[in-house]
Amino acid sequence: MTTLLDRHPLGDLTLPNRVVMAPMTRVRAAAGGLATPSMAIYYAQRATAGLIVSEGVQPSLIGQSNPGTPGLHTDQQVASWRPVTAAVHANGGRIFAQLMHGGRVSHPDTTGTRPVGPSAVPAVGDVFTPTGPQPAPTPRALATAEVPEHARSYAEAARRAIDAGFDGVELHGANGYLISQFLSSNANLRADRYGGSVANRIRFAVEATSATVEAVGAARTGVRLSPGATFWGVAETEVPALYAALLGELARLDVAYVHLEATTDEEVLVGLRRAWPGTLIMNPTVPMGPKQVGRAEADHWLGLGADLISFGRAFIANPDLVERLRTGLPLAPVDDTTYYQGGDAGYLTYPTYHHTAA
């Protein structure tokens, strides 16, 4: 029986265990979207994970969703990431950069320009800006001729990620951001080759992935998806057919993995597992959901055919999560008030487990 502590091949890597650190926005980047020394410590503290997936990294300035997030679209940003990836590797870890284009989930106060999206339909809710939450603005609908440029932005950032020392990249196709917006049936009202039918709605995701595979290789490319999710007001019709079609195209591209979130019925997710021939990373809960994932949820999904299990909040509060899972030690709770506050408190200050004398 497969366990969390078993090794697993992933592209050109061999993971020492099946525990993945999920991508989590922490808004600790410096001005200009630069990675910082504190970020190097944060990721290195968690390098016993089989694989780390970084926080969302914008592939272009217009792709930035939140203030305080890092980028991979300038030479200075690439240079700032090198100490981070070096620190992870020095501690024996492996790290992929998650490439996240926010699309309509952004604001001119953050980027200096109007957000773009598949259609001129605003996200639902307030977006983060440098001066606090503000209503999501109406994005500018991309012209057909512009869409390939944004698909290629993932590939260009992927090249920079490899130059920065990352072992690979994960395209963020989930949670209501740009790829997810194209998959959507209410954020995407297009009548051209990128909208309407299932084949058209998956086209942007496929083009972005194909360009990335061409740029850095399939073994260095993963994709994260949230089937049926409703983040930022997106809705999707024909969910099983939509994702089966997308997985078929990703299988043709032979990407290193697909990373699913538990955002739809388990029956649908199990069907997608059967449809996907490659490595599957499963995140067993809805992001920001009510429950912190532990060993029981991980074992459940390994039993259903997942190859790797990603943990979010558990990794924030437990830098030694792999050891705690291995030995059955209790997991420390996370302080959610420190998620986005900046600084090192609630970032570098969670300790490893302290054993006391009997």
Residue appearing with tokens 């190859």 = 307
pLDDT tens digits, 240-295:
999 999 999 999 999 999 999 999 999 999 999 999 999 999 999 777 666 777 88
Q: Does the CA dihedral 275-276-280-282 come out positive or negative? A: negative
Q: What are the Cα distances from residue 342, in Å, to 32, 36, 44?
A: 15, 12, 18
Q: Where do the domains of the chain lie, and which CATH numbers do they carry? A: 8-338 (3.20.20.70)
How far apart CA 294 and CA 303 sit, in angstroms, is 15
Q: Looking at residues 91-113, what average pLDDT do you find?
A: 98
Q: Which two tokens stand for residue 296?
A: 């029981």
The residues, ordered by sequence, that sit 6+ positions from 342 with a Cβ below 8 Å of its Cβ are 27, 28, 68
**Mean pLDDT across the chain:** 96
Q: Looking at residues 315-344, what average pLDDT do you find?
A: 94
Q: Looking at residues 317-326, what average pLDDT do you find?
A: 96
How far apart CA 310 and CA 324 sit, in angstroms, is 15
- Assess contact for 44 and 88: CB atoms under 8 A: yes
Query: What is the reported pLDDT for 289?
Result: 65
Q: Does the CA dihedral 118-122-125-128 come out positive or negative? A: positive
- Assess contact for 253 and 247: CB atoms under 8 A: no
How far apart CA 16 and CA 315 sit, in angstroms, is 17
Q: Looking at residues 143-162, what average pLDDT do you find?
A: 98
Task: Check pLDDT > 60 for residue 358.
Answer: no
Q: Is position 194 annotated as part of the catalytic site?
A: no
Task: Check pLDDT > 70 for residue 318.
Answer: yes
Q: Looking at residues 186-215, what average pLDDT do you find?
A: 98
- Assess contact for 95 and 48: CB atoms under 8 A: no
Query: What is the reported pLDDT for 288?
Result: 62
Residues 177, 194, 347, 350: which is the catalytic one? 177
pLDDT > 70 fraction of the chain, expressed in percent and rounded: 97
Q: Looking at residues 328-344, what average pLDDT do you find?
A: 92
Task: Check pLDDT > 70 for residue 47.
Answer: yes
pTM: 0.96
Query: What is the reported pLDDT for 239?
Result: 96
Query: What is the reported pLDDT for 290?
Result: 65
Query: What is the reported pLDDT for 294?
Result: 84
Q: Looking at residues 158-164, what average pLDDT do you find?
A: 98
Query: What is the reported pLDDT for 355?
Result: 65
Query: What is the reported pLDDT for 108?
Result: 98
